[in-house]
Structure 1
Amino acid sequence: MVILFLHQNFPGQFAHLAPALAAAGHRVVALTSRFEESTRWRGVEVIAYRYDTPEGRKLHPWSSTFDSAVDRGATVFRACEALKARGLNPDVIVAHSGWGEALFLRHVWPGARIGVFAEFFYQAEGADIGFDPELAGPEIGRSARVEMKNLAMRLQLETADAAITPTHWQAEMHPPELRRKISVAFDGIDTDAIRPDARAELTLPGHGTFRPGEEIVTFVNRNLEPYRGFHVFMRALPDLLRARPQARVVIVGEDGVSYGTPPASGGSWKQALLDEVRDRIPDADWARVHFTGRIGREDFTRLLQVSRVHVYLTYPFVLSWSLIEAMSAGCAIVASDTAPVREAIRDGENGLLFDFFDGQRMVALVDRLMDDPAERIALGQAARQRAVQDYDLQRVCLPAQFRWIEAQSRSSA
């Protein structure tokens, strides 16, 4: 079978599925703008296309997302026409719908089965938009703007044969008439590699060594920003350090913005929040706070293994891999009581939940777990069990994704 993946930042969510299909004997091709030149990656033929963001257009603000999707979709259309002329005729196409890459594929390969990765369908109310009153002022026409923001994703899902998304909550965000096309299968976590290890140690240059048994609080974002609760965590940090005078707080993440917008004052959210709270933290306490930036895969696993309490927050938005990885490592987790988190964490069973905006409650729960090893161990073991049962890469998630691919190939036979 010939399978074509499209993702502007390949491999992205296809990091496990694409090479696994190649290893199973299929011809797997990926089209992406991430690379400058075509290459081969873990058995996948990676073909680069160039995309230049258009400049100087005067657009209505509501149509900017759709216009960008059409522009990128047209670029991909031309690249796919060239691939077809060179003899590529995929049986199955899998494309992330977030950037418009699958908009015009049906015009190139009308007989191919097309599946989209339907990551998120925005809501004017009830999800991330308007969730945080501090950063969401009054907006006239919000529902109309959101309808336009979703338009390219809707069109791709309408023309696709099937779709896949990581969580049931993300599936439920889609309109009922489109939801019927969507299968749910999480991306997958290697629970054999990310597992508890009482002997783990982590040494980070400039930060020292971290060992199991120490009071280590961990907080992880790809980028430190409000969508993942960085502002809530930072505003509670002075009280957390005061409540736990022996604790070391390790904050992992870069200074950019993955979602939302930068601070109105400019610069990074990290700097904005440091400016806000630093004068409330004595220098001796500040020495126990470690901003590591981005760290490597092995170091990140060791960090979770030495963590005594892991804190995770998110708006009602896509669920972070890092939460499931923390569960797999057996962390005692304190997390925001938001819809995507509730799908993985049941309060009091495999973690403790608190209202997203209640930093004082977060501190109280961390403080409680620090003093209660029995509860920490029980929550961590239950979190690990849930990760293995429902989110394991090799035994649960990849087989489900393979079944989804095979269903497309059978339909095209």
Structure 2
Amino acid sequence: MPSGALRLALISLHTSPLADVGSGDAGGMNVMLRHSADALAGLGHQVEIFTRRAAADLPDRLELPSGVVVHHLTAGPPAPAGKREHEDFIAPFGAALAAQWSDWDIVHSHHWFSGMAAQPLAVDHGRPHVQTYHSIAAPNGRPLGEGEPPEGPGRIDGERHLAKTSDAVLAVSHAEAATVTGRLGADGERVFVVPPGVDVELFHPIEGEPRSTLVLAARLEPLKGVDLAIRALALLPAQIRPDLHVLGAPSGAYPGYDEELRALAAELGVASRLQFNGAVARARLARCFATARAVLVPSHSESYGLTALEASACGVPVIASGAGGLREAVHDGVTGLIVPSRDPQHWADAIAGMLTDPDRAAALGQQGRELALRRTWRATAQGWERVYRRLLGAGTPTTGLG
């Protein structure tokens, strides 16, 4: 290895960075892990990713073009599983990881399942443990949305344990960092903010093609607010109402949820304006964004909201809820609009304003592209590296919540 290079173990128990984004439980976490790992390898580090074997034919070891090595560990049946089932896989995954243990400099877990499997091993071997949550359980007592299952029994306690015992927490937004310190009890001196990046070569503006649709890209589950987008679509004046293209497949926990959304659209009289495209390849996603009039992100909760930044990279204005880190991914009135209300009429008004003022939409899209150009995956990897070196006592001191 090059002098100064680090040996890094990135742990992702419940979802593989190789999974198709928008299907099952694959989403922004998968994108972030894959691109950040590749960028860390590009900085000269040795990077290994450990994930659960979700199919019998997956190889034990797979080397990616960047040099990153992905290991598939057997924990539970070699088949897809719902997110809640993965709580039962923590112990066997930890045992499989222990059998593969090497002299890594840093162990970086992604999501609480991974942290609960890897953090005890890092302690046993005297290695620093870094935790990134990607999502955090809702507080006790919060009413569940329609169709939303309760949290797994160990999640909230597990997340609190990791917040207090990990050597560092890498948050994707200041909003997430505030949750980690305020709700989970982490020491703010050990919490660091490094936002995700975006591939500005893949996600780029396309000139000369008409923009005709609204686009929403997300797994199909109540958390993502697709129903709100459909209700807003129905409230738009018919003469300006575009088609809404929804890109994403039902989450493993919500089979058939797309049929519920189709029924809602039929009830509201906009079924002919709604198109479900399922999970799409990244290149097609970029093209759909670049040829949209606006991208909608009506989520109830987002640690950051990577699709918003990807849409901005395509020079397209974003209309988003004010949930969590979306206020950091979308600069209100600069790269898009934040709609703090979940009233469908407020959303319809915001969309109508964008559709009827193309000059403003173009200006928001241009400023979004400029923001995206400052947010690269290399910058994300460099942010992670600074935290790693701080933990190893080999870098410039960095304050928490930076």
After TM superposition, the score normalised by the length of structure 1 is: 0.78
Point out where structure 1 has 5 or more consecutive residues left out of the alignment.
Answer: 54-63, 200-210
Aligned partners of 2:140 and 2:365: how far apart in 1?
34
* Residue 238, structure 1, aligned to residue 206, structure 2: no
Paired residues of 1:369 and 1:376 also in contact (CA < 8 A): yes
Aligned partners of 1:345 and 1:3: how far apart in 2?
31
Could you report, residue by residue, the CA deviation over 1:239-275 in whole angstroms, capped at 9, with x for unpaired residues? 3372425x23222111235xxx64xxxx522211222
* Residue 157, structure 1, aligned to residue 163, structure 2: yes
Q: What code does the residue aligned with 2:166 have?
A: A
* Residue 250, structure 1, aligned to residue 245, structure 2: yes
* Residue 95, structure 1, aligned to residue 80, structure 2: no
Paired residues of 2:215 and 2:296 also in contact (CA < 8 A): yes
* Residue 25, structure 1, aligned to residue 35, structure 2: no
2:100 alignment partner, one of 83, 94, 103: 83
Question: How large is the Cα RMSD of the aligned pairs?
Answer: 3.1
TM-superposed deviation, 1:197: 1.9
Q: What code does the residue aligned with 1:397 have?
A: T
Paired residues of 2:98 and 2:121 also in contact (CA < 8 A): no
Aligned partners of 2:63 and 2:334: how far apart in 1?
44
* Residue 171, structure 1, aligned to residue 177, structure 2: yes
SS in 2 for 1:255: coil
Aligned partners of 2:237 and 2:223: how far apart in 1?
23
What is aligned with 1:386? 371
What is aligned with 2:290? 305
Aligned partners of 1:130 and 1:392: how far apart in 2?
37
Aligned partners of 1:26 and 1:343: how far apart in 2?
29
Aligned partners of 2:354 and 2:103: how far apart in 1?
56
Q: What code does the residue aligned with 1:191 have?
A: V
SS in 2 for 1:410: coil
Aligned partners of 2:12 and 2:387: how far apart in 1?
18
Could you report, residue by residue, the CA deviation over 1:292-343 in whole angstroms, capped at 9, with x for unpaired residues? 1111111111111111122211113323311110111111222223342222
Aligned partners of 1:135 and 1:76: how far apart in 2?
29
Mark the CA change 1:302 to 1:172 in structure 2 (over 3 Å): closer, same or farther: same
* Residue 402, structure 1, aligned to residue 398, structure 2: no
What is aligned with 2:7? 2
Aligned partners of 2:391 and 2:265: how far apart in 1?
53
Aligned partners of 1:105 and 1:300: how far apart in 2?
39
Mark the CA change 1:19 to 1:276 in structure 2 (over 3 Å): closer, same or farther: closer
TM-superposed deviation, 1:146: 9.0
Mark the CA change 1:217 to 1:21 in structure 2 (over 3 Å): closer, same or farther: closer
Aligned partners of 2:131 and 2:86: how far apart in 1?
18
TM-superposed deviation, 1:183: 0.8
SS in 2 for 1:397: helix
Aligned partners of 1:107 and 1:73: how far apart in 2?
16
Paired residues of 2:7 and 2:45 also in contact (CA < 8 A): yes
TM-superposed deviation, 1:229: 0.9
Mark the CA change 1:277 to 1:393 in structure 2 (over 3 Å): closer, same or farther: same
Q: What code does the residue aligned with 1:19 have?
A: D
Identity, in percent, stands at: 21
Paired residues of 2:247 and 2:276 also in contact (CA < 8 A): yes
* Residue 105, structure 1, aligned to residue 126, structure 2: no
SS in 1 for 2:117: coil
Aligned partners of 1:160 and 1:243: how far apart in 2?
55
Runs of 4+ more than 6 Å apart: none
For 1:110-129, list aligned pairs within 5 A: 111-124=126-139, 129=142
SS in 2 for 1:157: helix
Paired residues of 2:305 and 2:329 also in contact (CA < 8 A): no
Point out where structure 2 has 5 or more consecutive residues left out of the alignment.
Answer: 1-5, 18-29, 78-82, 396-402
Mark the CA change 1:338 to 1:161 in structure 2 (over 3 Å): closer, same or farther: closer
Aligned partners of 2:163 and 2:118: how far apart in 1?
9
SS in 2 for 1:382: helix
Aligned partners of 1:310 and 1:368: how far apart in 2?
14
Paired residues of 2:105 and 2:128 also in contact (CA < 8 A): yes
For 1:1-400, list aligned pairs within 5 A: 1-8=6-13, 9-11=15-17, 12=30, 13-34=32-53, 36-38=58-60, 39-41=62-64, 42-52=66-76, 69=87, 71-84=88-101, 88-99=102-113, 100-106=116-122, 108-109=124-125, 111-124=126-139, 129-130=142-143, 132=145, 149-176=155-182, 177-180=185-188, 181-199=190-208, 211-212=209-210, 214-221=211-218, 223-240=219-236, 242-245=238-241, 247-257=242-252, 262=254, 268-281=256-269, 286-389=271-374, 391-394=375-378, 396-400=379-383
Paired residues of 2:197 and 2:376 also in contact (CA < 8 A): yes
Paired residues of 1:2 and 1:92 also in contact (CA < 8 A): yes
Paired residues of 2:214 and 2:296 also in contact (CA < 8 A): yes
Q: What code does the residue aligned with 2:230 have?
A: M
Could you report, residue by residue, the CA deviation over 1:345-402 in whole angstroms, capped at 9, with x for unpaired residues? 233232122244211222222222212111111211222223333x3323x3222122
Paired residues of 1:95 and 1:117 also in contact (CA < 8 A): yes
The aligned length equals 362
Larger of the two Rg values belongs to structure: 1
TM-superposed deviation, 1:287: 4.2
Mark the CA change 1:377 to 1:164 in structure 2 (over 3 Å): closer, same or farther: same
Q: What code does the residue aligned with 1:410 have?
A: G
